[in-house]
């Protein structure tokens, strides 16, 4: 842990500059450049809006009840957009984070650069896009959908940094392992579409009638953030009102943190030879 913190010390300016360059590099050659990072999720949201609000009208609005207590009725698109915004960040953080070391191998093999900061600036580049999308989501939810503004919205400043840190820590394991094995990287990319459907992005896991499934969903950290964003912007509930969900996430976070430190420390010195 201290090794990773030591590697970040004095590199904050470089991390932000490299995050900016990461976005530019990703969309290099495109006329509108990094704006594609917004257009892509916007098109995805349009497709889902058309499918659920126009194509399948009989689905109607979403009635949300938590532990048998009715919360509110939400327009289906409004309900989904609040779940999709963290998903876009999470999906890119997992897939691109796993590729981070391999795609930036020059920092490992040619220059003396702290390896752990590679995962940090890769995630920071996605965070820039997420903050822009979150601002657009907030404007839509507060001004267009009619949900309005509330003090619960401030929880965004808890969930967003926590989400960023969690998935950076996750890449301490996945990025070095992907550098060693392209099969591991391909496996991550392959299972992401499946993870989407079991992560509560387009439905509320609080609504499950099966107690087993409801508690099983609590083990999914992506579901924690989907619920968290909806708590902040739709449900108007504080993060501590469902303590079991929070406790399970914190235990998982601690486990991922320890595993990340272990894997990074175990594989870091071998990366130059592998790459």
pLDDT at 254: 96
Residue 25 has a pLDDT of: 76
Q: Which pLDDT belongs to residue 70?
A: 65
Place of tokens 């020059």: 106
Q: Are residues 33 and 45 in contact, defined by beta-carbon separation less than 8 angstroms?
A: no
- Looking at residue 190, its pLDDT comes to 84
- Token digits of residue 107: 């920092």
Tell me the angle at which helices 156-180 and 182-197 cross, rounded to the nearest 10 degrees. Answer: 150
Radius of gyration of the chain (CA): 19
Q: What is the pLDDT along the chain (275 residues), one digit of tens a residue?
A: 777 877 787 778 888 888 888 877 776 665 566 667 777 787 777 777 676 666 555 555 666 666 666 666 777 788 888 999 999 999 999 999 899 888 888 888 877 778 888 899 999 999 998 999 999 999 988 888 878 889 999 999 999 999 999 999 999 999 999 888 888 888 888 888 788 888 888 888 887 777 788 888 889 999 999 999 999 998 888 988 888 999 999 999 999 999 999 988 888 888 887 77
pLDDT score of 235: 87
């Amino acid at each position: 842990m201290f090794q990773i913190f030591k590697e970040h010390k004095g590199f904050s300016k470089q991390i932000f500059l490299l995050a900016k360059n990461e976005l530019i590099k990703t969309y290099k050659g495109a006329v509108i450049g990094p704006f594609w990072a917004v257009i892509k999720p916007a098109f995805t949201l349009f497709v889902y809006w058309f499918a659920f609000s126009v194509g399948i009208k009989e689905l109607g609005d979403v009635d949300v009840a938590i532990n048998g207590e009715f919360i509110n009725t939400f327009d289906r698109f409004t309900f989904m957009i609040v779940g999709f915004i963290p998903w876009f960040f999470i999906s890119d953080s997992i897939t691109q984070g796993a590729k981070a070391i391999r795609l930036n191998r020059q920092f490992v093999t040619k220059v003396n650069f702290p390896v752990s900061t590679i995962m940090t600036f890769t995630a920071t580049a996605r965070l820039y896009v997420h903050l822009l999308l979150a601002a657009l989501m907030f404007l839509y939810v507060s001004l267009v959908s009619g949900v309005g503004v509330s003090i619960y919205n401030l929880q965004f400043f808890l969930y967003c940094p926590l989400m960023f840190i969690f998935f950076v820590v996750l890449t301490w394991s996945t990025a070095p392992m992907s550098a060693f094995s392209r099969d591991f990287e391909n496996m991550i990319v392959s299972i992401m579409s499946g993870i989407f459907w079991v992560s509560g992005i387009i439905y509320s896991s609080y609504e499950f009638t099966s107690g087993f499934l409801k508690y099983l969903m609590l083990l999914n950290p992506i579901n924690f953030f989907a619920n968290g964003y909806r708590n902040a912007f739709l449900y108007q509930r504080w993060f501590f009102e469902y303590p079991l969900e929070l406790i399970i996430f914190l235990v998982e976070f601690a486990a991922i943190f320890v595993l990340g430190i272990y894997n990074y420390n175990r594989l870091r010195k071998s990366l130059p030879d592998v790459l």
